Amino acid sequence: MSPAVHGPAVHGPTVDDQTRCVHYRTELDVIAIRFACCGRYYPCHLCHDETADHGSRPWPAGSGHERAVLCGVCRTELTIDGYRGAPSCPRCSAAFNPRCVAHYPTYFE
């Protein structure tokens, strides 16, 4: 029996308890983003687009203080500023995928 997962719910087609999804599931893909449009966590923009009943929009400039990134390993919620450029989770040291920076404009203005 796997341990209970605590923290916010993650929506979309996840493949494990660490927020990996059908689109991104490498060892480093362990974050979920809380979308500004709905306040719900999804593993990626594709998961949101496929399952939400609305279009996504990025967090506006100046939202760096918002807790909008979830570490899938320890379930810590990070601020946008705390996540951007962080190579790993400040709480559990789980490594983050450095290629996620390519999607920042989708999530953050």
Q: What is the pLDDT of residues 54-81, one digit of tens each?
A: 999 999 999 999 999 999 999 999 999 9
pTM for the model: 0.92
pLDDT of the residue at 35: 98
DSSP state of 11: -
Rounded CA gap, 51 and 91, in Å?
Answer: 30
pLDDT of the residue at 6: 76
Q: Which residues contact 62 (CB under 8 A, 6 or more apart)?
A: none
Give domain status of residue 1, yes or no. Answer: no
Task: Give the range of the structural domain holding residue 58, as residue numbers without chain letter.
Answer: 31-107
pLDDT of the residue at 5: 62
Give domain status of residue 77, yes or no. Answer: yes
Give domain status of residue 20, yes or no. Answer: no
Give domain status of residue 9, yes or no. Answer: no
Q: Which residues contact 85 (CB under 8 A, 6 or more apart)?
A: none
pLDDT tens-digit map of 1-32: 344 567 899 999 999 999 999 999 999 999 99
Q: What is the count of structural domains for the chain?
A: 1
